[in-house]
Amino acid sequence: MADLQWRWARLGELQAEDLYDALMLRSWVFVVEQHCVYLDADGVDRQAWHLLGRGAPQGAGPGPMRAVLRVVDPGVKYDEPSIGRVVTAPEARGTGLGLVLMREGLARCRSVWPGRAVRISAQAHLQRFYGTLGFQPVGEAYLEDGIPHVEMLCPAGDPPR
């Protein structure tokens, strides 16, 4: 996967084009591909950081949006900061970008909230993937928008490489 240009910002700091492309990618994957009819723009984005990864610029415009995640502030959904809405573009899958995205997101969490664990609500079929990053399941599986999920916690400290 070619180098990405990362953008880490609060909602109000995002350019309109970045926000549009990020929400479009999230909707494509979560609503269209996964057949989940739900409101992706759930109001939580206002209390979160957003990590966006774009490919190389194409012509005069920005490069294509390849990866997105959000990090919700502690106390909003969980006691810990939480990573969610993790998505890579369909054409970028199988390149290792998901791992790069999550490592980048964890590094940003460690920078903003040093010494804090990070929580996720993972789709159950991705437990092994998140486990390679140091996340451990906490609790039983549950349904969220018709998809089995499990809460996972990554202890404070450096994640495995």
Decide if pLDDT at 90 tops 80.
yes
| Residue 131 in tokens | 């486990």
Cβ(49)–Cβ(85) below 8 Å: no
Q: What is the pLDDT of residue 160?
A: 61
pLDDT tens digits, 62-77? 899 999 999 999 999 9
At 86, the pLDDT band (50, 70, 90 cuts) reads very high
Rounded Cα distance between 136 and 130, Å, is: 8
pLDDT at residue 38 greater than cutoff 80? no
Query: How far apart (Å, rounded) are the C-alpha atoms in residues 9 and 11?
Result: 6
Section 82-95 average pLDDT: 95
- Of residues 125 and 38, more confidently modeled: 125
Task: Supply the pLDDT for residue 2.
Answer: 55
Q: What is the pTM of this model?
A: 0.91
pLDDT in tens, 137-161: 998 999 988 889 999 999 998 666 6
